[in-house]
Structure 1
Amino acid sequence: MHEFRHAYDTHLRGHLPSPPQAGAVHLRDRFLDGGRLTRTHYGTHGVVDHGPLPPGTDLPALVARQRARFAAHREPAHWPVHDHDPTGLAPALEAAGFRPGAERSVLVAELADLPSPPPPGDEVLRENDRVSAQAVRRLAANTGPHRRPLTEHEADGTAFENRTLTLVRGTRVTAASWATLRTGTPFVVLEGMTSPRPEFLGEWARHATSGRVLPLWWVWTQAEARLMAAEIDPAAQPDLHALLLDSGLRRIATVRTHTWTPPGTPSRTRPVTELHDDPEHDDVWDRFTERFFFTPSTTVFPGIVEPTPSTTWPVRAVTGDPARISELNRVVRRALTAGVPPGEHLYSLDWQHIGRRYDPRRVGGDERPRHPACAFPDGDYSLNLSHDLRLGTFGHPWEHGQGTLCVFGRELLDVVAADLDRLLGAPLRRDGRPAR
């Protein structure tokens, strides 16, 4: 048990996710000497995660620093406290207004020791997909509590580290499980399981240790993971708790999450949401293609029927100069923010790549996710759009030798045209016609 707990404390607690979770910001507490604490801001809530705290840590001051940052973001804060943390940590949290939740068991096992029974003959194990996604979400919402809700698991974006498996009988999803490979550590973390099915455990182990390069699983198969960790509330999920213990997982600790809620109403969505291979992403692209007659080609220009009002500039004046490209992106980002009212989301799209929906007033700057908008067409079509397509930008990577940038919508042009004239020079076209 001590070896497992040491591995858990060393590798998992205070771990910085790699890659970062979509729409989240992961920060270290730079005032904590000799320890490792990560504070994550999701925009909807926040989480504190830390390894063993050094002796003599000023616990009330540590708690006050984290709570102040969550208050500044208006985020409810969640702080897991393990039974081997300093005895003064829980009282310091409660004195600061944090309320303790239910106690959970922390379980760890060697992946190689997990059972791998095949599913019954009428069931099939498979990767979750668009067809089964809604059924899996219903199962997840009606079961638990899970270590991490499926909604958060999915909100992390298209990271290969996050996978979801299903058991299917005919056309019906009978059970689901989701897990995360913690890159840079030896751990796979079991985030949720809708019913106690040992078949999932063996499948997670197989994918993490097979050594074969599999589509969508290549990160797992190359990571050389050897341990699984799980957190289960034995009072709420006694059957799952019993299954995991019977399957070889050993209890190494208990943990209780303390929660603090600030005044006001927190946001219901993260500042940035990744969109890829889903209906919303397809809808925006389809409507853009239909309205602007988008024609992807390396020889057909300008690529769209440019609307009125619009202005198109060549981008050769900044090509090859990272500082000027960054300035171009900053100028367009400021204009996009000014061009939409508070609360309206925008889309940043990249041809044949992951797209993003984001709130322009909640990205960029300290303790915020990086602004996803990119105006410069760096090797492929780059778009920034409002949902109703009334304003946006279209970057063509090949037109005019080194690319062009079309800006459309009066709200956007009024704010950005003078800056783009300064950065890019004289326009090529206005309203789709040669500029004079």
Structure 2
Amino acid sequence: MDGGRLVRTHYGTHGVVDHGPLPSGTDLPALVARQRDRFEAHREPAHWPVHAHDPPALTRALHTAGFVPGPERSVLVAALTDLPTAPPPPEERLRENDRVSADAVRLLAAASGPHRRSLTEHEADGRAFERRTLTLVRGAHVRAASWATLRTGTPFVVLEGMTAPRAEFLGEWARHASSGRVLPLWWVWTQAEARLMAAETDPATQPDLHGLLLASGFREVTSVRTLTWAPPGAPAPVRPVTELHDDPEHDDLWDRFTERFFFTPSATVFPGVVEPTPSVTWAAHAVAGSPDRVSELNRVVRRALAASVPEGEHLYSLGWQHTGHRYDPRRVGGDERPRHPAHAFPDGDYHINLAGDLRLGTFGHPWEHDRGTLCVFGRELLAEVEADLNRLLGAPLRRDGQQIG
């Protein structure tokens, strides 16, 4: 944030600047230099969209700072109520966030465009109710796909991409965003009361999509050009955090954890795993009910996890029946970084943190000892965290799976 009007988003592989009208009298060269310095500190390329209504001095300041302009795109807006209802032909149908055809959709997305936001980036943002993908299929064959984002806090649904100009997608986005029915996977959309859809196209390279949008009730309101700056050296090739859900990697990790530790999910069977050697288990009641103490517990465990693995090794955070994460512990948490996915306190469900080879980690049981327990295993991790957990949680209950005292 800069002066309350500019937002800088860091993704770990790149960053984006977003802002509304800048106040007259803003020192634009100084503003641009501050943003560039922050991206350089993160070693991230910076993307700065500049609209036609922005002051020309902003573009000059960006050029002077080394930002390189990309192609100009038209910005189009339509009222959701104006978008046509166009059901697919009888032999085709629309699917929502379809996992079966995900690989085929990715191939279509990569071979089409340019899109306002690539499907790769859309998916990398993680599974959220605000981000949806629609697929048009005929039998087992994927005909086209479209992805969009609900901008909560604004009246907009943003069309991020469409692999082929099909009006069926527009009507379906409008139906979900303006429906009075609460649909299980679309409840955020139905409650947001969005009124408008925004899109961006390059008329020179996407004449068919541009024409479809104009014919469907969109009107051009401005144009935008993204300017890009890259710091010296190669940027990080992957984001610091990757969501894992129905991925083979996620399933394999759960299978190996269950087999190695004999994991038994139950509200009455304790401790839920066969605790290995070396391990130490504490009751969690000393922090339960206190957000500050839970936050301190998470900070202590996150620091210890990062200190227990060599630079470049990723860790995993698993939640029972929830989305898991693979992450670089040195590139998450804190200001201007993605949120840390690891949680130590078992707040109503199992929380598990693991090294990929299972040599160290934590297991939080939400129901043992009424307020939960935390088992920490692995020699390196215990050396980093045991004293801090004794301070936070008190004397341990078990060591190497054996009751103490």
TM class, shorter-length: over 0.9
User: Secondary structure of 2:191's match?
Assistant: helix
Whether 2:275 is the aligned partner of 1:306: answer yes
Task: Name the counterpart of 1:372.
Answer: 341
Task: Name the counterpart of 2:372.
Answer: 403
C-alpha deviation, 1:93, in angstroms: 0.4
Structure 1 stretches of 5 or more lacking a match?
1-27
- 8 Å Cα contact 1:158/1:276 also seen in 2: no
C-alpha deviation, 1:183, in angstroms: 1.0
How far does the alpha carbon of each residue in 1:6-35 deviate from its partner, in whole angstroms, 9 at most, with x for none? xxxxxxxxxxxxxxxxxxxxxx213x6xxx
What RMSD over aligned residues (CA atoms) do the two structures have, in Å? Answer: 1.4
CA distance in 2, matches of 1:323, 1:115: 51
Task: Name the counterpart of 2:216.
Answer: 247
Aligned residue among 211, 215, 224 for 2:184: 215
Whether 2:383 is the aligned partner of 1:414: answer yes
How far does the alpha carbon of each residue in 1:137-166 deviate from its partner, in whole angstroms, 9 at most, with x for none? 111011111000011111111210111001
User: Secondary structure of 1:360's match?
Assistant: coil
Question: What does 1:328-347 correspond to in 2, within 5 Å?
Answer: 328-347=297-316
Task: Name the counterpart of 2:94.
Answer: 125
Whether 2:141 is the aligned partner of 1:172: answer yes
Task: Name the counterpart of 2:320.
Answer: 351
CA distance in 1, matches of 2:51, 2:370: 60
C-alpha deviation, 1:79, in angstroms: 0.6
CA distance in 1, matches of 2:350, 2:97: 30
User: Secondary structure of 2:174's match?
Assistant: helix
Larger CA deviation: 86-95 vs 372-381: 372-381
TM-score by length of 1: 0.90
CA distance in 1, matches of 2:334, 2:154: 30
C-alpha deviation, 1:366, in angstroms: 2.2
User: Secondary structure of 2:330's match?
Assistant: helix
Task: Name the counterpart of 2:234.
Answer: 265
CA distance in 1, matches of 2:339, 2:105: 31
C-alpha deviation, 1:309, in angstroms: 1.5
C-alpha deviation, 1:49, in angstroms: 1.0
CA distance in 1, matches of 2:339, 2:167: 40
User: Secondary structure of 1:252's match?
Assistant: strand
Aligned residue among 198, 205, 214 for 2:167: 198
Larger CA deviation: 104-113 vs 358-367: 358-367
- 8 Å Cα contact 1:313/1:426 also seen in 2: yes
CA distance in 1, matches of 2:335, 2:194: 34
Task: Name the counterpart of 2:41.
Answer: 72
Task: Name the counterpart of 1:145.
Answer: 114
- Letter in structure 2 aligned against 1:312: T
- 8 Å Cα contact 2:9/2:336 also seen in 1: no
TM-score by length of 2: 0.96
- 8 Å Cα contact 2:98/2:134 also seen in 1: no
CA distance in 2, matches of 1:123, 1:359: 42
CA distance in 2, matches of 1:322, 1:56: 43
Structure 2 stretches of 5 or more lacking a match?
none
Task: Name the counterpart of 1:29.
Answer: 2
Task: Name the counterpart of 2:354.
Answer: 385
C-alpha deviation, 1:69, in angstroms: 0.5
C-alpha deviation, 1:173, in angstroms: 0.5
Aligned residue among 75, 83, 87 for 1:114: 83
- Letter in structure 2 aligned against 1:302: P
Whether 2:397 is the aligned partner of 1:424: answer no
C-alpha deviation, 1:83, in angstroms: 1.1
C-alpha deviation, 1:66, in angstroms: 0.7
User: Secondary structure of 1:173's match?
Assistant: strand
CA distance in 2, matches of 1:184, 1:344: 37
- 8 Å Cα contact 1:150/1:178 also seen in 2: yes
CA distance in 1, matches of 2:157, 2:383: 51
C-alpha deviation, 1:242, in angstroms: 1.3
Larger CA deviation: 117-126 vs 38-47: 117-126
CA distance in 1, matches of 2:171, 2:115: 19
User: Secondary structure of 1:280's match?
Assistant: helix
Identical aligned residues as a percent = 80
Could you say if the C-alpha distance between residues 336 and 211 of structure 1 is closer, same or farther in structure 2, counting changes exceeding 3 Å? Answer: same
User: Secondary structure of 2:90's match?
Assistant: coil
Task: Name the counterpart of 1:104.
Answer: 73
C-alpha deviation, 1:81, in angstroms: 0.9
CA distance in 2, matches of 1:45, 1:322: 32
Number of equivalent positions:
405
Q: Once superposed, which parts of structure 1, at least 4 consecutive aligned residues long, lie more than 4 Å away?
A: none
Whether 2:199 is the aligned partner of 1:226: answer no
Question: What does 1:156-171 correspond to in 2, within 5 Å?
Answer: 156-171=125-140
Could you say if the C-alpha distance between residues 391 and 221 of structure 1 is closer, same or farther in structure 2, counting changes exceeding 3 Å? Answer: same
Task: Name the counterpart of 1:24.
Answer: none
- 8 Å Cα contact 1:346/1:384 also seen in 2: yes
CA distance in 2, matches of 1:95, 1:321: 51
- 8 Å Cα contact 1:130/1:278 also seen in 2: no
User: Secondary structure of 1:311's match?
Assistant: strand
User: Secondary structure of 1:407's match?
Assistant: strand
How far does the alpha carbon of each residue in 1:239-272 deviate from its partner, in whole angstroms, 9 at most, with x for none? 1111111212111111111000101111122222
C-alpha deviation, 1:326, in angstroms: 2.4
How far does the alpha carbon of each residue in 1:117-151 deviate from its partner, in whole angstroms, 9 at most, with x for none? 22122211111321011111111011111000011
CA distance in 2, matches of 1:209, 1:424: 49
